[in-house]
């Protein structure tokens, strides 16, 4: 399984939205955003989704060129500031590394987002590609695994094609 098509899809896309999921889960949305149709219990709208989403369930860090800015074990009060520094930058590279594949995304502002599982099991990250690829990429059994993305009919109806924006 080659990571090259996923890297090619990511390179050049802007980081459009960064948000925290449950616990320390980190979500980066790349490219054009589609507003969420999900309504939470409190009445607020869910997060928008990008052309590609990177989800890291836990154990992640944001690196500067020569040091670690912070990560999933940092003081949560610092997270928003770190997330803000990612937004608007563009992907200049992406790769997997390690015997058990982890992911690294390099950005135009010199920052890198890196996964690194520190618990038993498998690396817990995934890429969801909603554009022309329509695939997800993750890790199972110590190897990269690709699955076809099942289209969400609600998103298909509400999405405005890029040519019409």
**Domain ranges for the chain:** 4-164
- Examine the pLDDT at 54 and tell me if it is beyond 90: yes
Residue 32 CA, chain-centre distance (Å), reads 13
pLDDT, average across residues 27-54: 92
Q: Which of 150, 149, 161 is nearest to 34 (CA)?
A: 161
| Ramachandran angles phi, psi of 90, nearest 5° | -115, 150
Interstrand relation of 52-56 and 143-148 (parallel, antiparallel or unpaired):
unpaired
- Distance, in Å, from the CA atom of 28 to the CA atom of 83, rounded to the nearest integer, reads 9
Q: Residue 134 contacts by C-beta under 8 Å, 6 or more apart in sequence?
A: 148, 149, 151
- Examine the pLDDT at 6 and tell me if it is beyond 70: yes
Question: Tell me, what's the pLDDT at 126?
Answer: 97
**Cα R_g (the chain), whole angstroms:** 16
Asked whether the whole model's pTM tops 0.75, one would answer yes
């Amino acid at each position: 399984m080659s990571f090259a098509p996923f890297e090619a899809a990511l390179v050049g896309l802007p980081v459009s939205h960064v948000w925290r999921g449950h616990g320390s889960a980190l979500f980066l949305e790349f490219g054009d955003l589609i507003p969420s149709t999900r309504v939470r219990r409190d009445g607020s709208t869910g997060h928008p989704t990008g052309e590609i989403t990177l989800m890291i369930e836990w154990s992640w860090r944001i690196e500067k060129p020569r040091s670690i800015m912070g990560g999933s074990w940092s003081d949560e009060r610092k997270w928003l500031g770190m997330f803000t520094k990612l937004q608007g930058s563009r992907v200049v590279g992406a790769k997997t590394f390690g015997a058990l594949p982890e992911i690294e995304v390099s950005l135009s502002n010199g920052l890198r987002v890196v996964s690194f599982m520190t618990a038993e099991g498998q690396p817990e990250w995934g890429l969801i590609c909603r554009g022309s690829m329509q695939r997800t990429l993750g890790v199972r059994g110590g190897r990269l695994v690709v699955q076809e993305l099942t289209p969400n009919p609600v998103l298909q109806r509400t999405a405005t094609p890029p040519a019409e924006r």
